[in-house]
Structure formats: C-alpha cells, structure tokens
Structure 1
C-alpha cells in the first residue's frame, strides 16, 4: 500500500506541473450550452440502449425507405407526369438523381455496419400511398426534411468520430435534396437560418406509417409513438398559407392524454413552442414566428425551457410545411 507521504508528494508534483501549463481557453456560455445539450442527448441515447452501430442501423432503415420510395415512384409515374407539374428536363434528371443518391447511401451504410461485424438491416415492405406524381413529389419534400432532421438529431449521439464524419457527409447531401425539391415545387429554398433536429424515436414515428412489415432481424429496437394526423385545415389545401393563431385540428387515438401541442422548429426558443390543446375538440392554435418545416406532437406538459422530451410526448409527430 503506498504511504500517505508518497501520495501527497505525487499530488503536489502534479499540481506544480499543472500550474506550469498554459491556461486553456474557457468555453463561452453558448459553447457550454451546446456541450451540456450534447451530454443530455448522449444520455438519452444510452437510455434507449443505442450504440453507434444501432444509430447506423437506424440511418440505414431510413435510407432503405427513401431509396425504395423513389424506385417505386419512378416505376409508377412516367416522365410526362412530372413534366406536367412544371419540372423541366434538368429538374427531372435531378429528381431521379436524388433516388440514385439514396441508394448509394444504402451501400455506404451497409458497408460501415458490416465492418463493425453486424448484419445490416434489410429493406422492409412499404406502403407509400402513391396516387399520382404530384403526391409523390409532395411526400418527397417531407421525407427529405425528415432525413435532414434525423441526421442532425443523431449526430450528438454518435461517439465515434469516423462514423460522425460519414453521417455528416450524408447530411449535407440530404440538405441539398431538400432545397432542390423545395425550389422545384415553388417553396422557399431556405425558410429558416437553422434546420431542426429530431430524436431517433420521433423520426422512427414519422417513418413507421410507411412500413408494413420488416424481415426477421431487421426490426429496430425503437417503438413508434401513437400516430397524429392533421384533420383541419385539410393538408391538400396547402398549409403554407397558414397564419399564426390559426386553429388546427388533429386526430389521434392517444389525444385524451394530451394537454398541449408541441411545435418543434429551429425558430422556437429551446426548440419547441407549446400551445394549449383542447382534447375534446382536438384543437390548438399555431404559435407565432415559426417557418419552414415544423414537427407537431401532442404532449402531456409544456416546459418553459422549450425542450421536448420523449417522456412527455403523447402522440406524433406529424409534419407542417409553413413556407
């Protein structure tokens, strides 16, 4: 057993060395906030039982969905139907290129997962509800927004720098996909100075309605929240014209347990703006100062911090594109 005298000597020596080192720069309040947020998110990942390879599997599940979405859509609808929407030949080629990119992302993620000694998840069976080319492009705009939010939300959960770099290289391309589709459909290319991250469970809840079944061994460890749907105004009417204060009506089998609507958007303080929810009518009012893609959930609380967590999420999210 080391003596107390020796132990004290070591501590004093270390203190002397430390005092001789140059002072390290202190974190700014903003950097400290980001650091603490990252720690909370990593703790959340641990609580969900997600290791780095699980996050890669989660990303691969989304990429399989997106790649299959474009494959099925282009097989169903001819070029003339997309040109009828106002897309020129260059834009049509770009749209098809997005589908090719998603398939390439699948290959990259499969390789990374296999290198970790794990069997990559396989594609599932999907029901995208295709009826026409216009509906496909509208759904593509939502999927690409969700893809950006998925990679943003997963980034702080990843501990391996190499994996984070790979995810970042996909994220930037997903953002370009999103911007292209927004411009091609007449929406603002960049309606907000920041994109909105979402946690894995919220992202999976957005993807789950498209998935009818998955092969054995390809089911994620995540479970989806109860679904949430916008009833009024009708989504087909175009929600981009909605003004702050507009009363929105939602439907969910879990609505009885909700007290608020949470509108998650980068423009909201803390990430989410909360509005009281009338469970009897299924309604809440659209808050002010939101733009671009907004994710709406039903919640059981409304923290003044604006931080939405899984434990207060009752149903959702569903997507509003406000500009």
Structure 2
C-alpha cells in the first residue's frame, strides 16, 4: 500500500473525525468536578466498545473478500479484521456482564468509510484512541483492582489491534513512541461523539464534557505550517489575553507551539506516528482546564531507519 494513498485517505478520514455533531448524552459540567464513579467509567468503556464493535460489523458487512482484494489487500487481511470484530464483541459482552442492569444498548453511528482502505485507516485510528482511553481512565479504577484488571486486559488488545493494522495492513510503523499516549474521558468523548448520530433514551448521561472540534486544513506535515479550524465558544477555556498555543501530545510528551493570529502553527519536525493536538490557553500544561478546542488526531508515518524514542 503506497504511503501516498495512505496519507490522502488518512487526511480525509481524520478530518471527518472532528466534523460531527454531538449526539451522545453527556453532562455539561466544570472540568474540575468530582471524578467519575467506577460504574460511570465502565459505562464510558462500554460506549467505546459498542462504537468499535458496530464499526467492524458494518464494515465487514459492507466490504466482502472481493472488495478487499480489489483494494490491493492480501486475502488474509479481512480474516484478521473478522477476528478483531470478534474481540470487540467479546469486550462488549464482558462490560455488559460487569455492569449488569447498568448496561445499555449501542447508539446509532455514521462512519466516514467508503472502501476497505478508509475502513482500515479508521479502524487503526479507533484502536489507537481506544488504547489511549483505557490508559487515561486507569486512575479512576485503582479502588477496584478486579475491574482495573479487566480494563487492563483490554488495553493491550486495543494497542495490538492498532499496531497490526498500522504495520501489517497499512505498511506503516506499529507504534508512535516508547510510551502509549493517555487521553482522559473528556478528550475521548470529544472524539467519539463525532461518530454518534443518536442514542436510545435508556442511554445514561455520563459526566463528561465535550470540547469544540479542531481540524487541520490540508495534509498536516511535520516541519511545515498548517492552518487550524476551530470555534471558541463561551463555554470553552478561551484565553483572557488572546494568546493560544497548540499542544502536540505523543507518549508522555507535550510539545507546545504558539498559535499565530491567523490560526496557523508550525508542526514540530520531530513528531512521529499517531499524535493528538489540542488548542490551549497555556504553553506549559495541556489539561481539560486549559483546553480551548480539540483534540484532533494527526498521523505522521515514519520509516524503519528513523530514530524513535
């Protein structure tokens, strides 16, 4: 699979990730409010697993073996996606059993998928977000070791799925850095909500905040200038002095770059792999309290000859 095809498809898919309207019920609240309960964290996880499971089921129903072959994939690629779909269905069942009467059915979704290549690209992205979501929520489960173990056993499977799609299917790097990138529930809900069109009335209202969407115009490239699109609302953490930065998150690193008056930013040349970007009113710490818009997801492929820390 040529990287030019991957880059063009990834750009269109990732742009669509940030363009949807909010349909999942969330509770608008202060970002420093009481942490979610264990039940709410499990419901949050079930929300993500429902989304992933539905994504794979719909994609595999839409694209048969011939479609994958015509897209240039070996015949075993679709079979592995079938196995991933089985994993996601098992995750759903496991979380439903853990929640009991507090579980709920899947929502309705819209995925920007038009062919097996865009299906694989979005699958890679969803699995990366899934790994980041479980890592970022782990701290809310330390009081329940048994529940933490269940979530901890799902996290590496999300990362394995992401690495397999990236390396074996898309012929890119299977990782981004020495560490996984953690996202908190508010950041993940901001991303996941773009795919949700409606939910059953029985879907619980979860105590998370969604931030204004953030997109990068064109095909963002490390070392080059890119223009950002986002709306600052009265409820977002707009800067009091008009100074904003873009924080690029990968692994355990946060790299801050000033945002110009025309909403352009120079993307750091050293960025690699799957990177999250947020507009913040801080140039030292990207948190929910400092987030103005985002996150957006960026994909920067790199070859095996590059250093990667």
Q: Structure 2 length normalisation: TM-score?
A: 0.80
Partner of 1:232, secondary structure, is coil
Which residue, 58, 67, 70 being the options, matches 1:81?
67
Cα displacement string for residues 129-170 of structure 1 (whole angstroms, at most 9, x for unaligned residues): 222221111111110100010011111121210011000111
The answer to whether the Cα contact below 8 Å between 1:45 and 1:51 also exists between their aligned partners in 2 is no
2:287 corresponds to which residue?
A: 309
Which residue, 142, 146, 151 being the options, matches 1:162?
146
Structure 1 distance, partners of 2:269, 2:207, is 36
The answer to whether structure 1 residue 132 and structure 2 residue 115 are counterparts is yes
2:16 corresponds to which residue?
A: none
Structure 2 distance, partners of 1:156, 1:300, is 25
The answer to whether the Cα contact below 8 Å between 2:246 and 2:265 also exists between their aligned partners in 1 is yes
Structure 1 distance, partners of 2:271, 2:57, is 33
Cα displacement string for residues 201-237 of structure 1 (whole angstroms, at most 9, x for unaligned residues): 001101011011111231422231111112133xxxx
Cα displacement string for residues 41-70 of structure 1 (whole angstroms, at most 9, x for unaligned residues): xxx998344011110000000000000011
Number of equivalences? 262
Comparing 60-69 and 135-144, the one that deviates more: 135-144
1:300 corresponds to which residue?
A: 281
Kindly indicate which of the two structures has a greater share of residues assigned to helix: 1
Partner of 1:47, secondary structure, is coil
- Give the number of the structure with larger relative contact order, counting CA–CA contacts within 8 Å between residues 6 or more apart: 2
Structure 1 residue runs of 5 or longer lacking an equivalent are 1-43, 234-238
User: Which structure has the larger Rg?
Assistant: 1
The answer to whether structure 1 residue 179 and structure 2 residue 163 are counterparts is yes
1:120 corresponds to which residue?
A: 103
Question: Alpha carbon RMSD of aligned pairs, Å?
Answer: 2.0
The answer to whether the Cα contact below 8 Å between 1:293 and 1:320 also exists between their aligned partners in 2 is yes
Task: Call closer, same or farther: CA 1:45–1:53 in 2, change over 3 Å.
Answer: farther
Structure 2 distance, partners of 1:302, 1:223, is 22
